[in-house]
Structure formats: structure tokens, C-alpha cells
């Protein structure tokens, strides 16, 4: 995590956007979470129950089901046409003009969509590999699944993936 993390609460319109995807778009959901966007994954196929959740939580619906666009829905629904995650991600970023801010990346658990909390280094001693403990000073933890996150190979690979697939959108 970078020192800029403190600035991540600055508000702007796109930062308040939240999403819900159907189960088939769980891969896309992980990437949106990684970018700091609160993204729920509906555990079943898209349908009325998913629309209800989107409505009550004010989430934008992302779905691959074309017939969903014909349903009555007062919120925003975006049809994902591609099967490749990087293309899906690019489409969402462009359609909603999402701002990619390195300070807000890696702030949400990729597994359960909960906001990570900083934890003290000494608290993770037995929870991370020894070489990580030696080399990393800052850690975050998911309050849901208790997973520990640190700046390591995963964020580096993620940034590399984005530099390759969505270079024009990186800050």
C-alpha cells in the first residue's frame, strides 16, 4: 500500500458508483473490487431477485443476459457482451468513466467485497510467510474472511495486467 492511501476518501461522482454482477461475471467483479469499486456478486443467475437487490442497494447491474435489458428496472443496467475479462473491464471503465486511482486500489477484499482495515505488523507475524514479514511493513485485513493483504506479487501482477490491457486508463 502506498502512503497516498490517506487521500482515498476524497469524493467525486464516479467513486460512489457501486455494482452488482451475476455469478457468471465474478471474474469481472474481482477486478472492480481491486480497483476499489464496491461490487456485489449475486450468487445465482440474474433475475428478479438480483434486480431487487440492485434497487435497494443502489447498485448498477452488470449482466451478460441480454433479456435482462428488456425487463422493467428503474436503475442502471449495463450489458456485458464479451467473455474476456480484460475486455469486460475496459467496457465498464469506459462506459461509466471510472476513475482509476492507485490510492484506492487494493482497498476492498477481492473475495468478499468488504473494506479492508489496516492491521499492525506484529499482529500478522504468524499469518503471513516469513519472507513477507521480513520485507513488508504495511498490512490490511478483511473483516469478513480475515484474509491478510500486503503489497506483494499479486498487486504487482495486477498492475502489469492493467498496464497491458487498459493502459489509457491508468493514472
Residues that bind Zn ion (CB under 5 A): 109, 111-112, 142, 144-145
How near is the Cβ of 145 to Zn ion at its closest, in Å? 3
Cα-based distances in Å from 60 to 4, 29, 41, 109: 28, 12, 12, 19
Q: Are 148 and 111 in contact (CB under 8 A)?
A: no
How near is the Cβ of 39 to Zn ion at its closest, in Å? 13
The residue (of 75 and 143) whose beta carbon lies closer to Zn ion is 143
For 129-158, letters b (16+ CB in 10 Å) and e give eeebbeeeeebbbbeeeeeebbbeeebeeb
How near is the Cβ of 114 to Zn ion at its closest, in Å? 5
The residue (of 61 and 109) whose beta carbon lies closer to Zn ion is 109
How near is the Cβ of 111 to Zn ion at its closest, in Å? 5
DSSP assigned state of 89: H
The residue (of 116 and 166) whose beta carbon lies closer to Zn ion is 116
The residue (of 45 and 111) whose beta carbon lies closer to Zn ion is 111
Amino acid at each position: 500500500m502506498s502512503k497516498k492511501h490517506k487521500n482515498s476518501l476524497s469524493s467525486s461522482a464516479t467513486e460512489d458508483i457501486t455494482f452488482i454482477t451475476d455469478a457468471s461475471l465474478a471474474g469481472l467483479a474481482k477486478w472492480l473490487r481491486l480497483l476499489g469499486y464496491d461490487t456485489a456478486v449475486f450468487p445465482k443467475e440474474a433475475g428478479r431477485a438480483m434486480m431487487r437487490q440492485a434497487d435497494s442497494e443502489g447498485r448498477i447491474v452488470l449482466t451478460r443476459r441480454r433479456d435482462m435489458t428488456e425487463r422493467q428496472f428503474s436503475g442502471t443496467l449495463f450489458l456485458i457482451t464479451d467473455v474476456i475479462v480484460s475486455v469486460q473491464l475496459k467496457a465498464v471503465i469506459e462506459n461509466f468513466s471510472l476513475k482509476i486511482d492507485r490510492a484506492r486500489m487494493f482497498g476492498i477484499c477481492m473475495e468478499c467485497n468488504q473494506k479492508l482495515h489496516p492491521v499492525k505488523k506484529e499482529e500478522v507475524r504468524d499469518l503471513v510467510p516469513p519472507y513477507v514479514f521480513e520485507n513488508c511493513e504495511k498490512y490490511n485485513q478483511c473483516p469478513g474472511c480475515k484474509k491478510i493483504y500486503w503489497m506483494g506479487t499479486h498487486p504487482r501482477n495486477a498492475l502489469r495486467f492493467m498496464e497491458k490491457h487498459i493502459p489509457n486508463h491508468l493514472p
